[in-house]
Amino acid sequence: MFPPNITNCNEDTDLTNAHKDLQYGYAQSKWVAEQLVLKARDRGLPAAIYRLGNLSGDSVNANWNKADFNLMFLLSCINSGIAPMFNFKFEMTPVDFASYIIVSLTQQISWSLGKTIHIINKKTIDSKHMFEWISANGYPLSILLYDDWLQRMEKLEKTGKSENITKVTSIMTSMNSSVFEDTRVFTHDNLSKYLEIYLKDKYIHITSSILRKYLSGLVKQQLISRPKMSNEVLRPLSNRVALVTGASSGIGEAIAKKLAESGASLVIAARRIEKLEKIRNDLLQEGNIVAAMQADVTKLDDMKKLVEETSEMFGNIDILVNSAGVMYYTMMKNFQVDQWEKQVDVNCKGTMNAVAAVLPGMLQQENGHIINISSDAGRKVFPGLTVYSATKAFVESFSQGLRLETANSGIKVTTIQPGDVKTALFELTTDKEAESLYAQPNKEIVLQPEDIANAVLYAVTQPRNCSVNEILIEPREAPI
């Protein structure tokens, strides 16, 4: 209905002359039908126009029109194991929601007469996140550049193994990829008003739960095979959603692996996306449910987006592990101010940003567990680590206050306080004087990252009524 030159697609936009820019027959036919209704309305006939979005399967039984392009496209990706790298946005409006709204509007016909109403999903799903979700749920996808993907699809088409691959390839080759990277925004003000007045906003959003129903329905219809997952045996964190920051190496990586292996639906986050993707791919091969997302904990907007995308992909977050951190040995007299500030930004502000992003959802669901990776330096100041010790003391105080304030809300707050751990943190130091005096731990008696991961798993597997506030974990031969 809306030509490409109209980016803000409002319900009251005048489309009288839009036919000049409509490129395909389907849109042109809809324009003709709508113009006929508008002329009838102008002559006094009662009429309302309902513009439907891209209808997906019903949210209960997952029945889906097999000729729908979104479905054919997803089936072609799942069955081929490859997907394109492009900025496509999946707009899915569950068909049962659309029919429910149409029937409801008919019962309130005086409200809808004379209006145009977009019955369309309020939230789209970026193709990147959809492919991540599909991979994390047992159908690993290799992401290829668009042209490379299309060439692979054309080769697969010749095998004749999949009718969907043939249809999708035919459609995609007949159009420029920019057609699918649609930047148009469809408003739904009239729909929102109606929902607010008559239905108390009973909008059916596409959630991870509904997407899983779709996958199950497609398996039952033998359109896709059963997922390649080993998650059928119940594990202690099955049905739990976890988010781990600083997961690209060291303690964060070990925690991520432990939570995934224990059954959690996991999102790993850090700035180094290449390392994250390798960790994710390794865990996927073992049948775990994992997605990787790039994020900088020092940026609140990054953390809010990370939490939002995690929730959209897997559902409400049950476990947050704040593992992102930096440590520099510095002598105060050497004024390594940039490194002081970096530690404050990552260790303090990063922890606050992650909590600020995840806490509203946990409070709403009255459940959640926040794990803050602190340090024994948060309990005792070590020379050469004055600023680092101060940041970890902040984490301890922040966690204690948060724990006290949320004690009756169903949320748990735990700090893990490791001593020396074999990680790359020691390699960050540039202050040679501080390094020679203080940064020489006995390599024979340091902890392993897996030791910290085991402590995290212990904390998050306690009964709901039991909260582990702190775990101080030291090398046996180096107590404090």
Whole-angstrom distance, CA of residue 165 vs CA of residue 125: 22
Q: Is residue 298 within 8 Å of residue 349, measured between CB atoms? A: yes
Taking the CA atoms of residue 187, residue 188, residue 190 and residue 191 in that order, the dihedral angle to the nearest 10 degrees is: 180
Whole-angstrom distance, CA of residue 250 vs CA of residue 216: 36
List the strands of the sheet with 241-245, edge to edge. 289-294, 265-270, 241-245, 319-322, 368-373, 411-418, 470-473
Catalytic residue numbers?
A: 388
Q: Is residue 211 within 8 Å of residue 267, measured between CB atoms? A: no
- DSSP for 75-140 reads HHHHHHTEEEES--EE--EEHHHHHHHHHHHHHTHHHHTT-EEEE--S--EEHHHHHHHHHHTT--
Residues linked to residue 319 through DSSP beta bridges, in sequence order: 242, 369
Query: Quick one: CA dihedral 355, 356, 360, 361, positive or negative?
Result: negative
Long-range residue pairs from 467-472, CB within 8 A, at least 24 positions apart, any chain: 467/403, 467/412, 467/413, 467/414, 468/412, 468/414, 469/403, 469/413, 469/414, 469/415, 470/414, 470/415, 470/416, 470/417, 471/414, 471/415, 471/416, 471/417, 472/376, 472/379, 472/417
DSSP E strands, 401-444: 411-418
Give the chain's end-to-end CA distance (angstroms, integer): 70
Residues linked to residue 186 through DSSP beta bridges, in sequence order: 9
Whole-angstrom distance, CA of residue 145 vs CA of residue 84: 6
Q: Which two tokens stand for residue 204?
A: 């059916």
Phi, psi of 463, rounded to the nearest 5 degrees:
-60, 160
Query: Quick one: CA dihedral 76, 79, 80, 84, positive or negative?
Result: positive
Q: What angle do CA 146, 211, 320 make, to 5 degrees?
A: 95
